[in-house]
Structure 1
Amino acid sequence: MLTVGQDPQLVTTDLFNGFLLSAQQETSCEKCQEVPLDVFLMNGYKVSLNVMTTERSDQVLEKACDKLSLPSEYVYYFSLFLIKREEDGDITILRKLQDFESPYISQKSIQGVHRVVLRKSYWDPGYDLELMSNQVALNMLYIQTVADVEKGWVLSSKEMKQHLASLQARGVKKEYLDVARTLKYYGFLQFRPCVCDYPHPGSRVLVSIGNRELNLRVKLAEGQDMREGCFKVTRMRCWRITTLHNNAETSTGESSSSVSPGQAQLELSFEYLMSKDKLQWITIASEQAILMSVCLQAMVDELLLKKTGMKRKQPGDRVRKGSWSYMKRDGSSQLISVSQSSSTDGICSKVNSTNGEVKSPSKTESSTSSMRRLSEKLSGVSLKSSSKQIPHPFVENDAFEGIGDEDL
């Protein structure tokens, strides 16, 4: 399923997205109706929308960008993310919302207070120059960059922070971005501290992904400076996601018993070309492993997009027509009609397969339906316990490049 979920040709089809969106709506027992949904920028600015419960992430993204007056050609340089604020005041990006899910249902299905946030979703900083030519896009990049600098996701010296603060006070956004773009980890997505088996088992690391690489920062001992490991995405032959249960020992050298009861331990493993004839598996244990995998695939897709000269997706590119029959768990079926109207996606009524009566999902059905997050449905995770290990699915890297020792 990990391979299926990250196949760019498959995940853009209406049949694939319509099926998973309908499955999400059936599982959540949500009626098709108009509801309010707030989308935030990284500075807390709120964009209030009215959406259908069955509207997909790309449709909500287009609505939010339209309300911000962002030109359509720049819409898909951005994406919607689910974030939560930790007890220490920091924020955690849980995952990127995919086109096969409803942002409203996904946000509602997770316990706790979470926000749908609009962030840029490209990895090559060269795209900044194109977006900075538009005032709205420039402002959106500026807001995110200021937030990343303030959180420490972008590294800067004390003097540089003072210089950036001066530029911010003067309101010169382009100059601020020009300076910030030269700093370490600009444009990277930073993850929560986690455990890795590199450079040795049980290493506590800080993972950042961006600019065609996965970066590890590790503190080897007290009083020592942080050491850095850089892994280029073009040298990753493949990667996989694994789930640990039953207090199994993780590949990173720790026990999964340290995880909260009922919570699975996720691992991201990638096979890396260390030298011309040496491939090595490196494993990261993190609750954000699925998001890391999604980021790696997005970087590969972007590399291939530039290599082939293809254009980025545009709002007007979507051709949506036709209908399919969605079979539900109770044996009944529902017609999924796809048209230019965004409100027609998904299940808006329940049709009894025997008498054709239309009814809304009942509370009994709601309690018996098992709630599973869409991230779990498409994560492609495999189960590994202390007694048995199941073969793992791999995501092959189409941008993998062989290297020689002289390139290292």
Structure 2
Amino acid sequence: MGTNDISRHHILERAFLDFQVSSFGSSAEAVTLEVFLSDGRPVNIECYSNDVTNVVLQKFARVIQLDESKIDCFGLFLSRPRNQDKDGSQENIASSSVVFDQLCVRWLKNFEAPYISQQLANKDSEENGSFYKVVVRRTCWDPSTEEPLLDDPGGLKLLYLQALNDVHRGVMKINPDIKDKLQAFQEQGNFRQFMRLCHLQPTYGYEILVPVISDYPRENTKCQLKVGRRQILLEYEDNGFHTQTALKSTRIRVWRVSHRDNQPISSQMLFQIEYLVAKEEFNVITLQTNQAVILSQFLQSIAAEILQDHRTH
């Protein structure tokens, strides 16, 4: 039984949820959960403390006017300010105060209750002043799969706000002409055309994770890590030049997550990929990252999307 099978099995889901609820030590109660949009505005969701992720997503969809048949295109994540040090301070106060910039640290799944997960995470981190928010993010990995969402009021709003935030943060790099066109669409309130122009940009659709240490192209290479458009992007300096390597998901035979012994917890995890570099020739690429689990979840989601495409067509 694979990881996805385990996480989707309702009996095991219920067992994990019951364990989480009992460890939280509080009976189910009516609560208000803040789910943050990409512009930093919270959406208040009236739910129960033990409501699982899918239930919270359904309630969120009703509030935001998203067709419930399309909720699989989005996910709930625990997040923290991107440039936050371990002591809770901000590396870049100016930018973080202007633009909502959250780092996704955990993809909330259906074997847990988002309210309890957030409360437990904040309880563990309150000493260093780090506080986690629940944010909603798109979980589509190819612009073509977003096309049906452009006719859904809630879906279009969520895509637009995230794309606009990516532009403001400089994540989606675009030339001045494209930026002017996007601004014109924004001023006209033409969000559908805004998104269609975004879909044409090769820098659209990436989730930015924390930098990693890679053994590619050589040992101890520090890389920026992006996941999107059904691939992993590694960006690094190579002989004085800024270089980008794309690891396409369709060329990844297998990946694995493991721990490094005798290392601090924050750097214990390894993410290894068996990657097809030539016909019947695979190389192993190793990334040192404390986000190996969420990176694995992203690749699982990409694989599921590709499989669904094949079934549809």
What TM-score range do you get, normalising by the shorter chain?
0.7 to 0.9
The equivalent residue for 2:44 is: 48
Is residue 2:286 matched to residue 1:290? no
2:183 pairs with 1:165 = yes
Given the two structures, how large is their TM-score scaled by the length of structure 1?
A: 0.68
Matches within 5 A, 1:252-263: 259=264, 263=266
Question: Hey, what does 1:21 align to over in structure 2?
Answer: 17
Cα deviation, residue 5, structure 1: 2.7
Equivalent pairs counted in the alignment come to 291
Judging changes above 3 Å, is the alpha-carbon distance between structure 1 residues 136 and 263 closer, same or farther for their aligned structure 2 residues?
closer
**Residue 277 (str. 1) matches residue 250 (str. 2):** no
1:324-403 alignment runs, 5 A limit: none
Correspondence list, 1:126-275, <5 A = 126-222=144-240, 224=241, 226-247=242-263, 259=264, 263-275=266-278
1:65 Cα deviation from its structure 2 partner? 0.8
Aligned match for 1:78, one of 57, 70, 74: 74
Q: Kindly indicate whether the alpha-carbon contact (under 8 Å) linking 2:267 and 2:288 is maintained by their aligned counterparts in 1.
A: no
Distance 2:21 2:113 in 1: 8
**What residue is the counterpart of 1:120 in the other structure?**
138
- Determine if contact 1:185/1:210 at 8 Å carries over to the other structure: no
Q: Confirm or deny: 8 A CA contact 1:40 1:115 kept in the other structure.
A: yes
Counterpart amino acid of 1:307? H
Secondary structure, counterpart of 2:40 in structure 1: coil
Aligned to 1:5: 3
CA distance in 2, matches of 1:77, 1:121: 5
Q: 2: CA distance between counterparts of 1:194 and 1:263? A: 12
Structure 1 residue matching 2:38: 3-state secondary structure = coil
Change in CA separation of 1:304 and 1:215 when aligned onto 2, cut-off 3 Å: same
Query: What is the distance in 2 between the residues matched to 1:309 and 1:160?
Result: 33
- Of the three residues 120, 127, 133, the one matched with 1:109 is 120
Q: CA deviation at 1:245?
A: 3.5
Q: Secondary structure at the match of 2:7?
A: coil
Give the match for residue 376 of structure 1. none
Q: Which moved more, 1:226-235 or 1:293-302?
A: 226-235
- Cα distance in structure 2, aligned partners of 1:122 and 1:178: 15
Deviation at 1:105, TM superposition (A): 1.0
Secondary structure of 2:21 counterpart: helix
Q: Which moved more, 1:113-122 or 1:99-108?
A: 113-122
TM-superposed deviation, 1:147: 0.8
Point out the structure with max Rg over C-alpha: 1
User: Once superposed, what is the RMSD of the aligned Cα atoms?
Assistant: 1.8
For the residue of structure 1 that corresponds to 2:143, the secondary structure is coil
Distance across 2 between alignment mates of 1:28 and 1:185: 41
Deviations 1:56-107 (A, max 9, x none): 0011000011111212222221111111113233421112111111101111
**Per-residue deviation, 1:305:** 1.8
SS in 1 for 2:258: strand
For residues 276 and 140 of structure 2, the distance between their equivalents in structure 1, rounded to whole angstroms, comes to: 25
CA offsets 1:103-156 (integer angstroms, 9 cap, x no match): 011111112211111111121211221110122221211111101121222121
AA partner of residue 295 (structure 1):
F
Letter in 2 for 1:298: S
| Displacement of 1:264 | 4.8
**Alpha-carbon distance between aligned partners in 2 of 1:181 and 1:124, rounded to the nearest angstrom:** 9
1:307 aligns with 2:305: no
CA distance in 2, matches of 1:133, 1:191: 30
Contact 2:226–2:232 under 8 Å retained in 1: yes
CA distance in 2, matches of 1:30, 1:5: 29
What's the offset of the Cα at 1:233? 0.9
Query: Identity of aligned pairs, percent?
Result: 26
Shift of 1:50: 1.9
